[in-house]
Structure 1
Amino acid sequence: MIDVQRDISVIDLDDQQQLVIACDSIGGIGPKEEDSLQVPGEIVGKLGVRVALLEVLAVRAKPVTVINTLSVEYEPTGKEIIRGIKEEIAGLSIGPDKILNGSTEENVATTQTGVGITVIGVANKDNLKLANSKAGDILVAIGLPKVGGEVLTAANEIVSLKEMEQLLELNYIYDILPVGSKGIKYEAELLAEMNGLNLNLVNQAEIDLKKSAGPATVLLVTLPENRLDDLQQDISKSVNLLGNFYQIR
């Protein structure tokens, strides 16, 4: 059975295990002459892989394969992008050389950067967390929405794989949902719908709830109200209360 939820696909392997698949793409951002945003290939690789990795990790699956499909030549652009991918996943328990595979464009010359990333993970059905929130839980945003060039200049304000790993160790965290181009409000309402709940959003004047969060610069997290102080102590990035869930009547 294939179940598409959020931005991932979940496929049953057997009675105990499931595959979790996430993908992302980047176009027009890179070191080539016709790229709209000029950045080194290494940065493209780091930003490109983090979105799909965060999606897989958020549901408590273990990444086993990272596939890069690059619409650029291997030397020099592709090589730089792959270096960035390896740097971003170096902190995972399985080394990048063991899980990374991919392809580059060697037949025609390219003048604009194009990148596709697919991450495949495995999870036990009992451990997979797709909709675990309940009425009374609060919703918070970790990190701030950044897009385009902002991502390059605000590294201290966006969520990283390090914060994700920290969240996975906290037993009071329920759902985790990366926010991308559709913005915080869209993803928050999706999370409420998945849990069969309504969401009471509080006014967050310092956060634009509709702004694109680019390469998943924000994580939405649900937890009991009485653990908010703990989360603010356990995570170094900004933690902003967005609202709470309540039962649909």
Structure 2
Amino acid sequence: MGYQGRDVEVVALNDAQYLVAACDSCGAIGEKELDAVKVPWWVTGRMTARVALLEVLAVGAVPQMISIAIANEPLPAGEEIMKGVREELKAMNLLSLPTAVSTEKNMPTKQTGLGITVIGLCDQDKLRVGRAKPGHSLFCLGLPKVGTEAADPEDPDILQGIHLVQLLSIPGVYDIIPVGSQGIRGEAEALAQAVGARFREDTQCELYINKSAGPSTCLIFTAAEDIELGDFGKLPIHKIGRLEEDGGGGLPTENED
């Protein structure tokens, strides 16, 4: 049932609940010899956990368990990665979440490899999938950053779990989608297509919406243009465009009138 091309899937358990699964992978980012981006392993663990947790929370689900597959030795890589995972769980008040962990104990490795899956439950009436409609505006919360730009989990310009929880509480916010490697444009166009609409970019938007957002350093959401969002502190908010009726001509070109 989930959006094609997204790292989240939604399956009906019964007439009242959905099972939600989200995953994220991270390769060559850490402290290993052949890692392309050098960051402390705890950053690798924290940011990868954040992505999977955000995906589950964004559709209105409550995380029930987390699985961490570490393609490296238990010490020191595994231990340091898990420190970051636990830090992110603590920041989201999910430190008691049941956790399954596996590490590589047979082969030596020269590159960091990590996969994290989060499983959640969602009541049928709380599911935030496909609520967007033509006429809704699209906004971006946070800035797209990737690689070493995203090496600080506390960067005031990037999305954190507390921001998503705050957004979920605002009436009039519909679909919420964390942005990753497809970039803002890719996610906006995928959302538009999923609800039978077209994405029209706001020509006044200052963001480079084709850029990868790495470990979900920002999200997009749909709402009425005049929505009151409240205070998100220093976290940037931009209007990126709107959804329009799809007249059958496919996706609009950039800055189409």
Alignment TM-score > 0.5, same fold: yes
CA deviations over 1:35-86 (Å, ceiling 9, x no partner): 1111111101011111111111100000111100000111111011011001
Q: 1:152 to 1:26 in 2, by over 3 A?
A: same
- 1:85-234 maps to which residues of 2 (within 5 A)? 85-96=85-96, 98-152=97-151, 155-204=155-204, 206-227=206-227, 230-231=228-229, 233-234=230-231
Counterpart in 1 of 2:61?
61
For these two proteins, the number of residue pairs brought into alignment is: 243
Which amino acid in 2 is paired with 1:34?
A: L
Which amino acid in 2 is paired with 1:113?
A: T
Q: Return the offset for 1:204.
A: 4.5
Q: 1:132 to 1:150 in 2, by over 3 A?
A: same
Greater mean deviation of Cα atoms: 202-211 or 64-73:
202-211
1 CA distance for matches of 2:204 and 2:87? 34
Q: 2:92 touches 2:162 (CA, 8 Å); kept in 1? A: no
Counterpart in 1 of 2:232?
235
Which amino acid in 2 is paired with 1:80?
A: E
Q: 1:88 to 1:195 in 2, by over 3 A?
A: same
Task: Name the SS of the counterpart of 1:157 in structure 2.
Answer: coil
Structure 1, unpaired ranges of 5+: none
Relative to the length of structure 2, the TM-score reads 0.90
Higher helix share: 1
CA deviations over 1:155-197 (Å, ceiling 9, x no partner): 1211111111111111221110011001111110111111222
CA deviations over 1:194-222 (Å, ceiling 9, x no partner): 12222221125531111111001110011
Task: Name the SS of the counterpart of 1:117 in structure 2.
Answer: strand
Counterpart in 2 of 1:29?
29
Relative to the length of structure 1, the TM-score reads 0.93
Structure 2, unpaired ranges of 5+: 248-257
Instruction: Give the 4+ runs in structure 1 shifted more than 6 A.
Output: none
Q: Return the offset for 1:89.
A: 1.2
2 CA distance for matches of 1:156 and 1:91? 15
RMSD value over aligned CA atoms? 1.5
Q: 2:17 touches 2:124 (CA, 8 Å); kept in 1? A: yes
- 1:4-19 maps to which residues of 2 (within 5 A)? 4-5=2-3, 6-19=6-19
* Percent pairwise identity: 41
Q: Return the offset for 1:126.
A: 1.6
2 CA distance for matches of 1:79 and 1:32? 14
